Amino acid sequence: MDNLLLTIDQYKTEINNFTASDTETAETFRIKYLGAKGLIKELMGEMKNVAQENKKSFGQVMNEFKVFAEAKYEALKAATTNNGKAASDEIDLSLPADPLPVGSRHPISLVRNRIVAIFQRLGFAVAEGPEIEYDWHYFTALNLPENHPARDMQDTFYINQNPDWLLRTHTSSVQVREMEKGKLPIRIICPGRVYRNETISARAHCFFHQVEGLYIAENVSFADLKQTLYFFVQEMFGKEVKIRFRPSYFPFTEPSAEMDISCLICGGTGCNVCKHTGWVEILGCGMVHPNLLDNCGIDSNKYTGFAFGMGVERITMLKYQIKDLRLFSENDVRFLKQFTSAI
């Protein structure tokens, strides 16, 4: 026991004389005296050799020695990290900063913003509406009264809680909301997310995005519709792209048409993307049905209008030659980071 006390006194002197000018040396001190295999652990191991009656006082001496070594270590640490010199050694102010990882916009957002910007230049304002709609805005006002067979044209999701509620399958309901406000003329585009009860595949998804447009004023004609969409296509895809209209049916427009553009991949000569026709469909359109105007309290003898609707995913796929619709919603960073700049 006496021997041990003597040894401890010697170590205390050694510790007192220990100096450190950097953090590594302070760490060496910690390992040597306080570490898992350090001196204090080793001396504690001597406990088993100490006579029973001395165990208590030996424990006290060791505790006090440990506190002493810990205090010294704290002092060494403070001196080496705070002495200015050591700290400034670690920071090289001339080094360039770490680059901040910058995210990129989703390709769907890029293309939607581009579509919106093109129509804004023509004087269209952006209008938005809810994704959960009432029957009225979605069906009845859009010239689809109860039991109309075209209510089944798109696979609608209904909401169990209330049979009057559903998830919109297109943003035409926003047009109704806008017409009901009764402020004329109306020149709006409605970008938004829509839902359809379809099996997910490379070509279909249960949700996607649309931009629909509506123009109502006096003397609006089909020629205005054509010219507006022609302008859009040239701005979006380039001056060399051609358009064609095919007659179609939508309950809310009369006459109705679908618009094709000449295939961007083969330039119209025929390839897989255009199924060897040279044309790809990009949107539905037509002259607003007079019933819609009447439903919304607009004088259909005085006003006429046109409407159109396009899928943002479809335009994006054509623009970037993306073959699988599912890529847009999988959030794979390897895919998403390829679209860093606006097109």
Can you tell me which of 220, 263, 274, 285 binds ligand PHE, judged by CB under 6 A?
Answer: 285
* Beta carbon of residue 113, minimum distance to ligand PHE (angstroms, whole number): 20
Tokens describing residue 264: 């961007």
CB of 261 within 8 A of CB of 113? no
Of the candidates 293, 306, 299, 259, the one whose C-alpha atom is nearest the C-alpha of residue 279 is 259
* Beta carbon of residue 274, minimum distance to ligand PHE (angstroms, whole number): 20
How far, in Å, CA of 83 to CA of 80, rounded?
6
Q: Judged by CB under 6 A, which stretch of 13-21, 69-77, 179-187, 307-315 contacts ligand PHE?
A: 307-315
* Beta carbon of residue 309, minimum distance to ligand PHE (angstroms, whole number): 3
Can you tell me which of 29, 279, 308, 339 binds ligand PHE, judged by CB under 6 A?
Answer: 308
Q: Judged by CB under 6 A, which stretch of 68-76, 105-113, 155-163, 281-289 contacts ligand PHE?
A: 281-289
Per the document, the length of the chain is 343
Q: Is 220 in the site for ligand PHE (CB under 6 A)?
A: no
Q: Is 172 in the site for ligand PHE (CB under 6 A)?
A: yes
253-262/207-217 β-pairing? unpaired
Can you tell me which of 107, 191, 192, 284 binds ligand PHE, judged by CB under 6 A?
Answer: 284
* Beta carbon of residue 153, minimum distance to ligand PHE (angstroms, whole number): 8
3-state secondary structure 201-232: CCCCCCEEEEEEEEEEECCCCHHHHHHHHHHH
Nearer to ligand PHE, 27 or 258 (CB): 258
How far, in Å, CA of 210 to CA of 135, rounded?
20
CB of 342 within 8 A of CB of 114? yes
Site for ligand PHE in 177-216 (CB under 6 A): 212
How far, in Å, CA of 235 to CA of 117, rounded?
10
Residue with tokens 């040396």: 25
Can you tell me which of 108, 286, 287, 317 binds ligand PHE, judged by CB under 6 A?
Answer: 286
Contact set with ligand PHE (CB under 6 A): 170, 172, 212, 250, 253, 256, 284-286, 307-309
